[in-house]
Structure 1
Amino acid sequence: MKLLKKLAPMFLLLFLATNTWAQREIKIEGHDNLRFTVDTIKASPGEQLKITLKTVSNIDDKSMMAHNWVLLKKGTDGMNFITKGLQHEDNDFIDPALKGQVIAHTKMLSDGETDSIVFKVPEEKGTYEYVCTFRAHYQAGMKGHLIVE
């Protein structure tokens, strides 16, 4: 029992270190060409991912050009999600009624801004779409896929 009490702090540190260092970071940029620099991410079920998004743009006005990264639940209709979000500019073009279809998302970012999010990859294998919700970006091709295998 004394040995267990002495080892408990070491086990706690090991547990915390494992959970902190176990995440894999994916760096993505959003550009004026309305594409993510990474359009496919492969991950394992339950893996911890850190997505870091940076907007690189020649347009300084956030109301004219900005990007975010939104991972949708499997089976979500991306076009419907985007269309319903158009009325919610104050919420980064995400319809609050559809927040249950979002696994993770960054903030809406203008030129030079960066945001990171950490999330657990879904356990269910398959393909999950990620999108930029800014006006017309999805329709122009600013989307990608998280493939859980």
Structure 2
Amino acid sequence: MKIHHLLLLSIATFGLSSLAQDAGVATIELKPDAKNPLGYDKTELSVTAGQKVKLTLNNTGSIAPQPHNFLLLKPGKLDAVGQLANAMLADPQGMAKSYIPEAAKADIVINTKLVQPNQSETIEFTAPAEPGDYPYMCTFPGHWLLMRGVMHVTK
């Protein structure tokens, strides 16, 4: 009987430690908004500074299927990166570059590539160490004006 209790206790302890470890990871899924295909379904995200983040851009369920990406930017850089993204419309290699402006690399915290309709991409990263409001956006031409949000990084 004692061995049985120890076994159950070991299983319970292992299970709890696994859950506690998973609780440290912020798991986020973003997809196009069902009513507005040029918007994300979430416009506000919250994570803790330095937290591990697993973000999936799931480009499914849109009434107007289009490619999308996800760029997390440094605070205050939304408009500057958006203008650079708009300028990529004239770049014949824009699609191959996932419409991610090379000139904006220093302002990008993390990004996905361009995700085609009915596909997804998952990225894993560590949230910025500095608390603040970090904008995110899709840089497919013209999308950033509506397809954007804010990741609140708190202490």
Q: Same fold (TM over 0.5)?
A: yes
Structure 1: state its 5+ residue gaps.
1-16
Q: Provide Cα deviations, 1:69-114, integer angstroms capped at 9, x if missing partner.
A: 11001221x1221221232513111111211111111121121100
Amino acid at match of 1:44: T
Q: How does the TM-score come out when normalised to structure 1?
A: 0.76
8 Å CA contact 1:50–1:118 kept in 2: the answer is: yes
The aligned residue for residue 51 of structure 1 is 55
Equivalent position SS for 2:38: coil
- Aligned partners of 1:30, 1:67: CA distance in 2, in Å? 8
C-alpha root-mean-square deviation of aligned residues, in Å?
Answer: 2.0
Match of 1:121 among 127, 135, 140: 127
1:70 equivalenced with 2:93 (yes/no): no
1:146 equivalenced with 2:123 (yes/no): no
8 Å CA contact 1:53–1:68 kept in 2: the answer is: yes
Q: How does the TM-score come out when normalised to structure 2?
A: 0.73
1:81 equivalenced with 2:93 (yes/no): no
Equivalent position SS for 1:91: coil
Amino acid at match of 1:23: V
1:102 equivalenced with 2:108 (yes/no): yes
User: Which has the greater radius of gyration?
Assistant: 2
8 Å CA contact 1:34–1:137 kept in 2: the answer is: yes
The aligned residue for residue 36 of structure 1 is 40
8 Å CA contact 1:26–1:50 kept in 2: the answer is: yes
Deviation at 1:58, TM superposition (A): 4.5
- Give the aligned length: 126
Amino acid at match of 2:144: Y
Structure 2: state its 5+ residue gaps.
1-17
- Aligned partners of 1:123, 1:80: CA distance in 2, in Å? 23
8 Å CA contact 1:41–1:145 kept in 2: the answer is: yes
